[in-house]
Chains A and B, each alone.
Chain A
Amino acid sequence: MKALDLERVIARIDDLPTLPRTVLRITELVNDPKSSARDLARIITDDQVLAARLLKLVNSSFYGFPQRISTITGAIVLLGFDAIRNLLLTTSVFDLFSNRKKISVIRQEQFWDHSLGCAVAAKVIGNHLRYDRVEELFVAGLLHDIGKIVEMIFLPEIFKDINRMVKDKNILMITAEETVMGYGHPEVGKLLAERWKMPPKLITVISHHHQPSAAGRFAFEAAIVHLADILCRALNIGYAGDNKMPALDRTAWDNLRIRTDAIEPLLTTIHKEFDDISLFISYTP
């Protein structure tokens, strides 16, 4: 099979749906130091779906606030601007890709579970390491495999070949991608992330989640998502497209300084938090 030109993929990505305008406006607002919680609240309140979703999320056991939060302003004050932007970005990204008839319901649901599982795992690992921006890790975990969705939707024939090879040879999807296309989902995901002007940290984590120690100044974050992916696969949460474990980037693992006896408690926490949150932001066919 001949290697595909990455250019061809870029050309197709031009047809990709854009982010909802509300999310773009929120991103601008978050980057503007002069904006206030009230400005942000006004934009969110204009979008009924986003507003409802946000309130449902802040009141979920995932955040564990003792009292009920009933206003958007209250949610913003409690969570902070960045967290809100990330939450809305995340749910919007998955809306864009959901409900594609060609892909079976169960397949989409399992892929969503894998992404959500990685998001939760990245957050749990971040907490364990006392990383102060776990919200970013959550989003990075959720979006790390976005390249696979792009392939699924925009390169359906090639994606079919990749899947056949994964099934026949029982190999990792990235191995099959390299053979069929000459590059993998991290590169494809990077293209989308750049086009959508995602923050540099997020772009780097998406493009390096299989080789985190090469991620330069974001090597630590990439290592966390790398490990999150491995732990989710060990727990069999969702389905990422294959039944194999990715190779561990040993340098990245060593840099995280996680003791091996911390692994089981981490797995337990991840599984529990995943069960809690998946009831709130589950995939709806």
Chain B
Amino acid sequence: MIQLKIDALKPGMVLAQSVYNQQDLLLLERGTALTKKRIWMLKTWGVDRVSVKGQSQKDAASVSEVEFETRHSIERELRARFADVIAEPVMQAIMQAAGRHLQKRLTDPDTPDEST
């Protein structure tokens, strides 16, 4: 676990501790994977540093371990979510397309997609 300033956060990093505001309202839960939007939200909420998983800033940013975990959790979450409807071929196609898209996005969240 490492404490980082908001500006050092990168999408894909995972919160090691829950984030609260001044009034002790829970903003983001421990284990939440950061996205561009969530980092932006933390900024607008006035949070200046958070704890993320990893040993060093470089480690947290290169996210090898975290990324592996996230990749797996994408698969796992999709399967759990689709469990009751997977017999429908269209739903299966949607699940697979979502899996491919989410993995791609994880690899390079900042690159605009050419297919749009």
Contact = CB atoms under 8 A, between A and B. Distances in A.
B97 A267 contact: yes
A234 B77 CA distance: 9
Contacts of B94: 230-231, 234, 263
Contacts, number: 84
A245 B113 contact: no
B90 interface: yes
Contacts of B81: 233-234, 236, 243-245
A275 B109 CA distance: 11
A235 B100 CA distance: 11
Contact of B91 (A245, A267, A282): A245
B80 interface: yes
Contacts of A285: 25
A269 interface: yes
Interface range on chain B: under 10, 10 to 19, 20 to 34, or 35 or more?
20 to 34
A278 B37 CA distance: 8
A4 interface: no
B44 to A, nearest CB: 8
A100 to B, nearest CB: 13
A268 B115 CA distance: 8
B34 interface: no
B37 A234 contact: no
B36 A275 contact: yes
Nearest to B35: A275
B85 A248 contact: yes
Contacts of A236: 77, 81, 102
A67 interface: no
A104 interface: yes
Given A104-B25, A264-B115, A271-B101, 11 more contacts: A106-B26, A231-B94, A234-B78, A234-B82, A236-B81, A244-B84, A263-B93, A264-B100, A272-B116, A275-B36, A284-B44
13 contacts: A106-B28, A231-B94, A233-B81, A235-B101, A236-B81, A236-B102, A245-B81, A248-B85, A260-B90, A268-B116, A272-B112, A275-B36, A285-B25
Interface of A: 104-106, 109, 230-231, 233-236, 243-248, 250, 253, 260, 263-265, 267-269, 271-272, 275, 278-279, 282, 284-285
Interface of B: 25-29, 36-37, 40-41, 44, 77-78, 80-85, 88, 90-91, 93-95, 97-98, 100-102, 105, 112-113, 115-116
